[in-house]
Amino acid sequence: MAKSLLFPEFKIERDAERCISCQVCVRQCANEVHSYDPEDDTVYSAEEHCVGCQRCVTLCPTGALEIRKREIGFRPNANWDVASIRNLYKQAETGGVLLTGMGCDKPYPIYWDHLLLNASQVTNPSIDPLREPIEIRTFLGKKEPFLEVAWSEEFAGLKTRLAPQLELSIPVLFSAMSYGSISYNAFRSLVEAAKEIGTFCNSGEGGLHPGFYPLGDWIIVQVASGRFGVTPEYLEVAAAVEIKIGQGAKPGIGGHLPGEKVSPEISRTRRIPVGSDAISPAPHHDIYSIEDLERLVFALKEATRYEKPISVKIAAVHNVAAIASGAVRAGADIVAIDGIRGGTGAAPQVIRDNVGIPIELALAQVDERLRKEGIRHRASIVIAGGIRSSSDVVKAIALGADAVYIGTSALLALGCHLCQKCYTGKCNWGIATQDPYLTKRLNPQMGKRRLVNLLRAWSLEIKEILGGMGINAIESLRGNREQLRAVGLTKEEAQVLGVKMAGEGW
Amino acid sequence: MVKRIRIHEEYCIGCRLCEIICMVKHSASGKIIKAFRKESERPLPRVRVEEEGYTSFALQCRHCDEAPCVENCLTGAMHRDEATGVVLCDEDLCVGCWMCVMSCPFGVVERKEKGKTTVSKCDVCAGKEEIPPCVKNCPNEALTYE
């Protein structure tokens, strides 16, 4: 094999004045970038293995390390950017599909940043969230079009039987991230944080480790095309069941779990051999139509005695509104929509970066379609894919979502530095790995605390924003697009989003 | 109750930052780069990361309730501080017989740097710190002070 044409992606700058050869970097790098030479008491770095995860930079006690993207001196070429050239070299050398992790990093427009929120002035009073209560509790599930109330001597109350609901104390849930794609400790952090805050995390398609069965009341379990780990107990312990049709990072294809991450524990949970790739089928082979979807939805409802909401998760693709409408008519209590910026533990880069549509546009269209068809109340909409802050949450709710899923944001709270190497199983932060030496790096108590802090901060901020608008319950904001104005968008974009341009009044 | 540094080996990541910070704390200057690069005599770390396979943990003096080092000390140099319950060595009394080194069941009492006749052991930073720096600087809370 000849010398590779691939150049190192990152440049490691070690300040010789500051380096004390303590070797923390050597011990922390799973990619074996740093090595210590006792002969001259020096730490050397092999840049070609560096993935830019910043673990060594973060832990270096003297701040001696700096890792930056290497500027390659190619002749500037608007058509051939460095990333394209690099990918092409890699494929010429390997002949394979390029894998990647996390969400799409291409500069497609982020519509959240082109939507502005409203606030009260003079004619309607704003509310001070520190002095008055603001309700951000959310219920997910089918809502009744009307309620029948009984009044009599013996009984006063609801006659209508309510559909099962998930009660969330903040309209944010943790996205589907399977045990397998993430470590036991990472999943433990998520589920314990969900329990403490009063929300839910999602098992992903990898089954549920028996260690999490006692925490099932805070877990939504997934039934995906691979059917990994789906057992009667799995459905029994969960708070809700989600049928995964698609994922924002890889619409049209099934889940991937590289064999590197299939440890003995994962093998037991997924019921597949150790070290084997777990490639889920692209479609569910028993679902080729909305009618087929309906059969699975009702099979799961039967299996859970109609006591648990059933969610259907689809990727945001071109015809998403019609598909979502079909899912609602198939009996879904919750429709989850995952946009192009949704993350993944492993996906072909070409799919992640080129397939799907931004979640903002998909959400606006789905909400509008369901309203027009008069079936919006029959399912809650949960969106995923690129929610970065509390303001994104508020904007999503104003656009019509009931709640949002956060995946990447949650991982960032756990220490993720977005190096996009989840598929290698060598996550230096102990998140997307099964190597026992690396998984220890995530202390689930710390992880839980950080996640709880994040959601607490967001809930305070959401209340601040709502109060400013003069709204005292998140219910009153849902689908309230008058609270949104577009800035820097074309008329067509604003039209698809169903919002007025900034400057237009009521 | 006496506060102790507790070890959580399931979260020790073997980075040895505790050792480095301990060395700095007990160095002449207390400055990390100076202590490592300029000072001719580097103190020994009083906490050691023990490692085997996937298991690692940072071990320092346990300040035993029944401390063999205190019982076996010929001169009374090794003593327990009444106020804090911490086991300390009075360097003025220590004659370097190494009985404490021999009798410590954890192997956390060591001969001090070359040429010295006293011992090196964890002093919980002599009560000068509210939280010992090894605990404060552990990136994964594998050491706690409770």
Residue A1 confidence (pLDDT):
73
Q: B20 and A61: CB-CB below 8 Å? A: yes
Q: A20 and B10: CB-CB below 8 Å? A: no
From the list A20, A441, A445, the residue facing B37 with the nearest CB is A20
DSSP labels for chain B? ----EEE-GGG-----HHHHHHHHHTSSS--HHHHHHT-SSPPPPSSEEEEETTEEEEE-----SS-HHHHH-SSS-EEE-TTT--EEE-TTT-----HHHHH-TT---EE-STT--SEE---GGGG-SSS-HHHHT-TT--EEE-
In this prediction, does ipTM exceed 0.90?
Answer: yes
Reported as a single tens digit per residue, the pLDDT across B115-132 is 777 889 999 987 777 899
Angle at A439 between CA A438 and CA A443, to 5 degrees: 120
Chain A residues touching B36 at Cβ < 8 A: 20-22
Residue B1 confidence (pLDDT):
62
Within an 8 Å CB–CB cutoff, is residue B137 touching chain A? yes
Tokens of A271: 């019921």
Q: B33 and A20: CB-CB below 8 Å? A: yes
Domain boundaries, chain B: 1-60+124-146, 64-121
Tokens of A166: 């998930």
Ranges of chain A with pLDDT below 50? none
Would the CA dihedral through A339, A341, A344, A346 be positive or negative? positive
Q: How far is A65 from chain B (nearest CA, A)?
A: 14
Residue B84 scores a pLDDT above 90: no
Q: Output the average pLDDT for chain B.
A: 91
Chain A residues touching B142 at Cβ < 8 A: 443
Q: How far is A384 from chain B (nearest CA, A)?
A: 30
Which domains are seen in chain A, by residue range? 10-99 (3.30.70.20), 138-501 (3.20.20.70)
For range B88-110, the mean pLDDT? 92
Within an 8 Å CB–CB cutoff, is residue B146 touching chain A? no
For range B55-83, the mean pLDDT? 93
Q: A443 and B16: CB-CB below 8 Å? A: no
Report the alpha-carbon distance of residue A419 to residue A391 in Å, rounded: 25
* CATH architecture assigned to B64-121: 2-Layer Sandwich (3.30)
- Interface subset of B 4-63, CB within 8 angstroms of A: 8, 10-17, 20-21, 32-33, 36-37, 54
Chain A residues touching B11 at Cβ < 8 A: 440, 443
Spatial contact of A462 and A170, defined as CB atoms under 8 Å apart: yes
Residue A461 confidence (pLDDT):
97
Interface test with B, best of A24, A58, A188, A435 (most B CBs within 10 A): A24
- Interface subset of A 230-249, CB within 8 angstroms of B: none
Q: A21 and B36: CB-CB below 8 Å? A: yes
Report the alpha-carbon distance of residue A414 to residue A451 in Å, rounded: 7
The phi, psi pair for B98, rounded to 5°, reads 65, 20
Chain A residues touching B10 at Cβ < 8 A: 440
Residue A36 confidence (pLDDT):
97
Q: B15 and A18: CB-CB below 8 Å? A: no
Tokens of B102: 């021999």
Tokens of B67: 């401390």
Would the CA dihedral through A380, A386, A389, A392 be positive or negative? negative
Cβ within 8 Å of residue B111, ≥6 positions away: B96, B98, B101, B119, B120
Within an 8 Å CB–CB cutoff, is residue A319 touching chain B? no
Q: How far is B32 from chain A (nearest CA, A)?
A: 7
Tell me if B1-60+124-146 shares its fold with B64-121: yes
Q: What is the CATH number of domain B1-60+124-146?
A: 3.30.70
Percent of chain B with pLDDT over 90: 73
Residue B114 scores a pLDDT above 80: no
Chain B residues touching A436 at Cβ < 8 A: 54
Within an 8 Å CB–CB cutoff, is residue A20 touching chain B? yes
Cβ within 8 Å of residue A390, ≥6 positions away: A457, A458, A459, A461, A462, A465
Tokens of A22: 């303590």
Q: A17 and B36: CB-CB below 8 Å? A: no
Residue A126 confidence (pLDDT):
95
From the list B8, B33, B139, the residue facing A62 with the nearest CB is B33
Chain B residues touching A28 at Cβ < 8 A: 13, 15
Q: B54 and A24: CB-CB below 8 Å? A: no
